Amino acid sequence: MMRIIKCIASVVFTAILISCSDLDNSRVEELLRTESAYPRVVDIRVYCNDQSTAREVVDKNLARHGYVKARLVHTPDDIGKPLITFTEQAAPYLVETNDTLRSIDIQRVKVADEVFRHVRNIEISPKGDRAVVDFSTELVNRTPFIVLFQQNIAGEQLRRTFFTKKDDRWMWDGKIVKMPKKE
């Protein structure tokens, strides 16, 4: 009998903690925006000296639409030059790329912006000091380079993140996990 009373008391205490928590949908969104998690630029790396990437930009019509110039093979005259170069039309989509990547002919290119949509679920630990939050995002402002993006871009993207309560304040743990879509 004592076990049942302790179990019921534990459930009631947990329910009180959850209901009194100040971590709700709007607070989660506010914390993620304050920490500059969203909106964020989604980019890819274009391997400018790779023949299969050069073939892909041609096949996906990026060369035909004037965003890149691509050669499918190296000739003796152009050894050491990249197979793919970006035109002025592509300039708004080029993301700052560090010297290390540029030295091996890799360019980061924006494919879209990922924006926060809504919280799907908040689970707070029994102690009330940790929370797991499932939420969704969406890719907007898609660029012509989205055709090179290898991930699913249709509909909402499911994400999970974590919060810790310290000194009566919720703090974002800084990690976002991509979740598989439920079929």
pLDDT digits (tens, 9 = 90+) for 128-176: 999 999 999 999 999 999 999 988 788 889 999 999 999 999 999 999 9
* Domain count across the chain: 2
Q: What is the pLDDT of residue 154?
A: 81
Structural domain including 87 reads 43-110
- Of 181, 177, 169, the closest CA to residue 34 belongs to 169
Q: What is the pLDDT of residue 21?
A: 52
Q: Are residues 62 and 95 in the same domain?
A: yes
Residues 6 or more apart whose CB falls under 8 angstroms from that of 174 comprise 35
**Which pLDDT tens digit goes with each residue over 81-128?**
899 999 999 999 999 999 999 999 999 999 999 999 999 999 999 999
Domain boundary among 61, 93, 110: 110
User: Is there a cis peptide before residue 39, judged by omega within 30 degrees of 0?
Assistant: yes
Q: Is residue 181 scored above 80 in pLDDT?
A: no
**On the CB side of 182, how many CA atoms lie within 13 Å of its CA?**
5
Domain boundary among 83, 110, 137: 110
Does residue 6 or residue 38 have the better pLDDT?
A: 38
CATH classification of the domain holding 162: 3.10.450
**On the CB side of 129, how many CA atoms lie within 13 Å of its CA?**
3
Domain boundary among 67, 89, 110: 110
Asked whether residue 55 is assigned to any structural domain, the reply reads yes
Asked whether residue 153 is assigned to any structural domain, the reply reads yes
| Partners of residue 176 on adjacent β-strands | 161
Q: What is the pLDDT of residue 17?
A: 39
Q: Is residue 1 scored above 80 in pLDDT?
A: no
Asked whether residue 169 is assigned to any structural domain, the reply reads yes
Q: What is the pLDDT of residue 27?
A: 93
On the 0-12 / 13-18 / 19+ scale of CB atoms within 10 A, 28 is buried
Q: Is residue 7 scored above 70 in pLDDT?
A: no
Asked whether residue 16 is assigned to any structural domain, the reply reads no
